[in-house]
Amino acid sequence: MHPALSVIFFTVTAGAGYGLLFLLGLLRLLGLAPDISPDQLVAMGLIGLLLVTAGLLSSTLHLANPKNAWRAFTRFRTSWLSREAVFAVAFYPVALLWLACEWFTGNTAATVFFGILMALLAVVVLICTGMIYATLKTIRQWHTALTPVNFVLLGLFPGTLILSVMLAQQGLMFEPMARLVLVLLVIAALVKVIYFYWIGQPAGPTINTALGFTRATVRLLDVGHASDTFHNKEFGYQVDRIRIIWLRGVSIVLAFVLPLLLIGGLLGEVGFGMLLLAVISAYAGVFVERWLFFAEARHVVNLYHGMQRT
Amino acid sequence: MKLGLVIDLDTCVGCHACAVACKQWNTSGTTGPLSDYDAYGKEPSGVWFNRVRHYEVDDFPNSKTINTPMSCMHCEDAACVTVCPTGASYKREEDGIVLVDQSKCMGCNLCAWACPYGARELDEEDGVMKKCTLCVDRIHDKNLPEAERQPACVMTCPSNARHFGDFDDPESNVSTLVRERGGYSMMPELGYEPTNKYLPPRQRPAAPTVERKAATSGESLIGKWMKRQKDAFNNLGKGAR
């Protein structure tokens, strides 16, 4: 699949924003930063909303006809993209109510309630994003339960890391938070590695089932068009095997290994500088991971263009 | 009613006439234009509802060329409709035709991602998705003579490889053809239940070729020649008597 930068930026940035707001909404409940003041919390919340908004605006850039984007709220019953749009927009009033409660009343029952509701919505949006891809039977690399799990974890992990940086900068970073970041890092890394092995197994339609000639070899003689078509440009994107393996390594090292080295040895005494480096590295790593998510996906239309299997 | 096409892979000669007729009718029809980019330049491309591809099945000397025209299959379980967030993609209840309401489409491409058959193409100039309409503006047009109420691709096919009809009627031309000739669906394992069916090539005795004759006699050409020489040698002197 053609990796569209607007969609990669959207899923990575908004994902991290939702991850950040998820934990922020539960921060008081979990008691991870007991000394945090309402204005600190509100400032961090606004940064989270900024990430989410930047991502959502970027997502409209890949639309060929954005003036009809408002219609995307109308098919909630069947379309995961519509569900994502509805929940992403429903997220704002809840997040703003939570911010208002925090700002005006501090830590009250209403704050906790809206905090939990916001955290819930943040995860639901991440699941919806993942499900848009996971429901496509035409792309076996996406049609797996690992896809939404990946989207959730790779939102939560960088989001939590960004929150840690802000807490460290305010002198509020304590060991339980560092432990949480490490746990999320390890789980996210594990699921991503499982995903890479999972999609390595050949499965699904072949050129034979695509054409209905299952008892003999089938070869493409002539694709029928002289220059690029919509399908070539959208689905024909291919990266060679060596580069993919190399980039997988880069994404794993940047997203997980480097942050682990930067913060893993510092349990109990986590520095702001190290955490900032870890955030930059993790963001770059998840960006490469998302690029690969698209670049490695092979649509079944390619079978009609001569690919033997996807 | 369940309208659709039957395409005969036995008689299709791969001339692309259906694709051209489709482009001609639809670019000037209710769903048009089917935009072209760089039409007279070095890399001409554009929107087509119907594309013909050519394959070789099996290995020489048993190989056969197969021409496959492909357009929207008007699936019974159309994923392109399910994933559409705007409601622009829809399947008509009365005849099963899958259409795009261009005034609602936001051009997100998700329906094209969901379609395994490459039936949907984004018109980069209009910014909306376009696809085969089964010539919905022909087949129901009471102003046309009844024989012409057929999709443009079916009307134009010079080898009569395309058939249009109602699959819900067991006695219709398409249902009969599918029943008698073993019509099948492409990529059925994805479960979208495509309405359009393809008729497999008929089994015919293989056309004689020099290589095949040698192959069927169980000997190579060289082996045969050697045998002839050996016989001639053994018979030396015998014939003279």
* B186 and B152 within one domain: yes
Q: Please report the number of interchain residue pairs, chain A to chain B, with beta-carbon separation below 8 angstroms.
A: 178
Rg (CA), chain A: 21
3-state secondary structure of B48: coil
Do residue B192 and residue B228 come from a single domain? no
Angle of helix A80-105 versus helix A109-134 axis, rounded to 10: 160
Both B209 and B188 in one domain: the answer is no
Q: Residue B184 and residue A147: Cα distance in Å, rounded?
A: 33
Q: What is the pLDDT of residues B43-79, one digit of tens each?
A: 999 999 999 999 999 998 888 999 999 999 999 999 9
Q: Does residue A287 fall inside a structural domain? A: yes
Asked if B233 and B181 sit in the same domain, the reply is no
d(CA A114, nearest CA chain B) in Å: 28
Q: What are phi and psi of A171, to 5 degrees?
A: 70, 30
Residues of chain A with pLDDT under 50: none
Answer yes or no: do B161 and B122 share one domain.
yes
* First CA to last CA distance, chain B: 84
Is residue A227, in this structure, part of any structural domain at all? Answer: yes
* Global ipTM: 0.92
> What does the mean pLDDT of chain B come to?
92
Tokens of B4: 């659709």
Would residue A68 count as lying in a domain? Answer: yes
- The domain in which residue A222 lies consists of 5-304
DSSP state of B120: E
Say what the pLDDT of residue A34 is.
Answer: 80
Domain extent, residue B153, equals 3-199
Q: What pLDDT, in 10s, does the model give residues A256-290?
A: 999 999 887 656 566 888 899 999 999 999 999 99
Note the pLDDT tens digit of each residue in B73-129. Answer: 999 999 999 999 999 999 999 999 999 999 999 999 999 999 999 999 999 999 999
B48/B108 same-domain check: yes
Do B39 and B128 sit in the same domain of this protein?
yes
Q: Residue A310 falls within a domain, yes or no?
A: no
The pLDDT of residue B72:
97
* B148-181 exposure pattern, b = at least 16 Cβ within 10 A, e = fewer: ebbbbbbbbbeeebbbbbbbeeeebebbbbbeeb
Residues with Cβ within 8 Å of A187's Cβ and at least 6 positions away in sequence, in order, are A153
* Residue A309 in domain: no
Structure tokens at A57: 């605006």
Provide the number of structural domains found in chain A: 1
Say what the pLDDT of residue A202 is: 86
Q: What is the pLDDT of residue A137?
A: 96
The reply to whether residue B116 touches residue A138, judged by beta carbons under 8 angstroms, is yes
Task: Give B-chain residues touching A73 at CB under 8 angstroms.
Answer: 85
Nearest by CB: A64 against B59, B79, B122: B122
Q: Is the Cβ pair B84, A79 closer than 8 Å?
A: yes
B110: nearest CB among A1, A81, A209: A81
Give the SS3 label for residue B100: strand
| CB within 8 Å of chain B, chain A residues 86-125 | none
CB-based contact A304 B53, cutoff 8 Å: yes
**Per-residue pLDDT at B203:** 81
Residues of A in Cβ contact (< 8 Å) with B48:
229
Q: Are residues B97 and B211 in the same domain?
A: no
Please check whether residues B222 and B168 belong to one and the same domain.
no
A134 part of contact set with chain B, CB < 8 Å? no
Pick the residue of A63, A138, A303, A305 with the most B CBs within 10 A to test the interface with B by mutation: A138
Residue whose entry in the numeric block shows the structure tokens 């031309």: B173
With a pLDDT cut of 90, the percent of chain B lying above it is 80
Q: Does A214 touch chain B (CB under 8 A)?
A: no
CATH of the domain at B186: 3.30.70.20
- Among B190, B192, B193, most A C-beta atoms within 10 A, so best to mutate, is B190
Number of domains in chain B: 2
Do A221 and B55 make contact, defined as CB atoms within 8 angstroms?
yes
Helix (H) or strand (E) holding B165: strand B162-166
| pLDDT digit string, tens, across residues B204-239 | 776 677 766 666 666 677 877 888 888 888 877 665
pLDDT the model gives residue B222: 80
Residues B220, B218: Cα–Cα separation, whole Å: 7
> What pLDDT sits at residue B233?
81
pLDDT of B223 reads: 79
The closest of A73, A199, A186 to A134, measured between CA atoms, is A199
Contact A216 B47 (CB under 8 A): no
- Look up the CATH number of the domain holding residue A134: 1.20.1630.10
